[in-house]
Amino acid sequence: MSDSTNYFVAAAVIAAKLDRATKVSQRLSLTASNARVVVLRAGESAAGFRPLTDAIHSLADITVSSSKRINTIAATLSKTSVQMFRADRALKYFLDVYARAKGSPNLASLDESFERTKAEYERLSTLYRKQVKNLGDELSSIESELRSAVILKTLCETEATRAKGEYREAFISVSRNVESTAREIKELIGYSRRQVEILK
Amino acid sequence: MVTSKNNAFLMDPGGVELFSAMLANVIKEVPVEKITHIFASHQDPDVISSLGLWDQALTTATLHSPWIWEGFIRHFGMNNITYSPIPDEGGSIQLDEVSLQYIPAHYLHSSGNHNIYDPKAKILMSGDIGAALEEPEAPLFVEDFEQHIPKMKMFHQRWMPSNRAKNDWVARVRKLDIEMMCPQHGRIFRGDDVKKFLDWFEALEVGILAG
């Protein structure tokens, strides 16, 4: 049985943080769409920016889909951990009953419930460890995807300096949005990663 | 708890904190697999918040409780136990040679609430009706009804909201042959004290902010 009594709280916190990451990722999609509109308006002077908007879109799509996937894993993990906590608690109560009703001729009738709950706890523990590992792997994967956001931001800034004055500010704003959104997602992912390490 | 040849009927098994003490005491009387029926008079935590643990211990038991609380009580955790809703008008349950009756006691205090009456033993399990607030080491039986009144009065006036529901219950219970009335908290009423309680309760104004 686990010594930790609040792992199910940590799992719920991770699920909440990743739900937030999904919402922030959707903002990145909006930034990509805005950048496309500015490129269309700017015409030839923004030719270099066009492929970058595709890259922002692609980053946004990957981030949204993987954060949704991770969010589902975290929510499932949260549910598993609550079930595991319940089974763990029942086992502790059953052990208390064994002590309190010591000597009772009926005490052996509790064995089946105890063994069944213990088996269920072990099944949930295995599932829990698998889900924690899966979550950790997915978080690593999204973290490496987000590294490209730094390069994208630098490229956007470079292209912004080449654009005509009236569009320059709009492109600079796009690059700032890419950076701030990616940073916010990274912080949420980083926090979740540290929590997952605790769950391990 | 009421036991019959093959079954045990456990009434208002209590809150989470009491689970191991309760199961330990039950197991001294019957094996776990004999506990086939649980009854929750209403939805309060001190009545049934241990359900999630009973659910781990008993896989084939049935929980009998007012229909109104089914969605609510499931929040205590119920994956294995089956919920059997009791209709507002009450009913009965037959366990081998034992027959028990559900006596409606709505709004006393819960808005969906039943007592259990055993016509053979002439015992009424009255839940919160007749309950008294006093020390845990208090005697099991009411010894002096008049002295017992102050321990019950505020509880009944403050918790029970309806004079109409109260008088309806009193009229219903007067028709039963009762030798013992056993509330969930406080002391057991025997013989004449049952009638004294019904008279006192009928005259009591409830649904007031009594101090």
Q: What is the CATH number of the domain that holds B87?
A: 3.60.15.10
Residues B71 and B140 in one domain: no
User: Does A41 reside within a domain?
Assistant: yes
Residue of A101, A109, A113 lying closest to B56 (CB–CB)? A113
Average pLDDT over residues B12-19: 94
Residues B126 and B64 in one domain: no
CA B60, distance to chain mean position in Å, is 22
Is pLDDT above 50 for B18?
yes
Q: What is the pLDDT of residue B38?
A: 98
Distance from the Cα of A6 to chain B's closest Cα (Å) equals 18
Residues B32 and B99 in one domain: yes
d(CA B16, CA B21): 10
Residues B87 and B132 in one domain: no
The domain boundary residue, chosen from B101, B116, B131: B116
User: Does A30 reside within a domain?
Assistant: yes
Residues B105 and B33 in one domain: yes
d(CA B57, CA B53): 6
Q: Enumerate the residues of chain A whose CB falls inside 8 A of the CB of residue B23.
A: 93, 97, 101, 110
DSSP state of A161: H
Q: Which amino acid is at A190?
A: G
The domain boundary residue, chosen from B78, B96, B116: B116
Residues B135 and B167 in one domain: yes
Number of neighbouring beta carbons within 10 Å of residue A113: 21
Residues B106 and B132 in one domain: no
> Which residue in chain B is spatially nearest to A111 when comparing CA positions?
B32
Question: Using the beta-carbon criterion (under 8 Å), do B23 and A97 form an inter-chain contact?
Answer: yes
What is the domain range of residue B7?
1-116
Question: Using the beta-carbon criterion (under 8 Å), do B32 and A110 form an inter-chain contact?
Answer: yes
> Which residue in chain A is spatially nearest to B25 when comparing CA positions?
A101
The answer to whether B104 and B169 have CB atoms below 8 angstroms apart is yes
Residues B173 and B87 in one domain: no
Residue of A87, A89, A109 lying closest to B31 (CB–CB)? A109
Is pLDDT above 90 for A151?
no
Structure confidence at residue B46 as a pLDDT band (50, 70, 90):
very high
Q: Enumerate the residues of chain A whose CB falls inside 8 A of the CB of residue B19.
A: 93
Distance from the Cα of B98 to chain A's closest Cα (Å) equals 22
User: Does A106 reside within a domain?
Assistant: no
Query: What are residue B131's phi and psi, to 5 degrees?
Result: -70, 150
pLDDT in tens, A25-60: 888 888 888 888 888 888 887 788 888 888 888 888
Is pLDDT above 70 for B198?
yes
Residues B46 and B93 in one domain: yes
Residue of B29, B30, B57 lying closest to A113 (CB–CB)? B57
User: Does A62 reside within a domain?
Assistant: yes
Q: What is the mean pLDDT of chain A?
A: 86
Residues B29 and B101 in one domain: yes
pLDDT in tens, B119-171: 999 999 999 999 998 888 899 999 999 999 999 999 999 999 999 999 999 99
What is the domain range of residue A156?
7-81+135-199
Q: How many domains does chain B have?
A: 2
> Which residue in chain B is spatially nearest to A100 when comparing CA positions?
B24
Is pLDDT above 70 for A1?
no
Residue A37 neighbours by CB under 8 Å, 6+ apart: none
Residues B145 and B75 in one domain: no
Q: How many domains does chain A have?
A: 1
Is pLDDT above 90 for A157?
no
Distance from the Cα of A88 to chain B's closest Cα (Å) equals 11
**pTM, to two decimals:** 0.79
Is pLDDT above 70 for A65?
yes
Structure confidence at residue A61 as a pLDDT band (50, 70, 90):
confident
Q: What is the pLDDT of residue B210?
A: 62
Identify which has the larger pLDDT, A55 or A124.
Answer: A124
Identify which has the larger pLDDT, A200 or B128.
Answer: B128
Distance from the Cα of A62 to chain B's closest Cα (Å) equals 37
Q: Taking CB atoms and an 8 Å cut-off, how many pairs form between chains A and B?
A: 58
Residues B143 and B201 in one domain: yes
ipTM of the complex: 0.83
CA B147, distance to chain mean position in Å, is 24
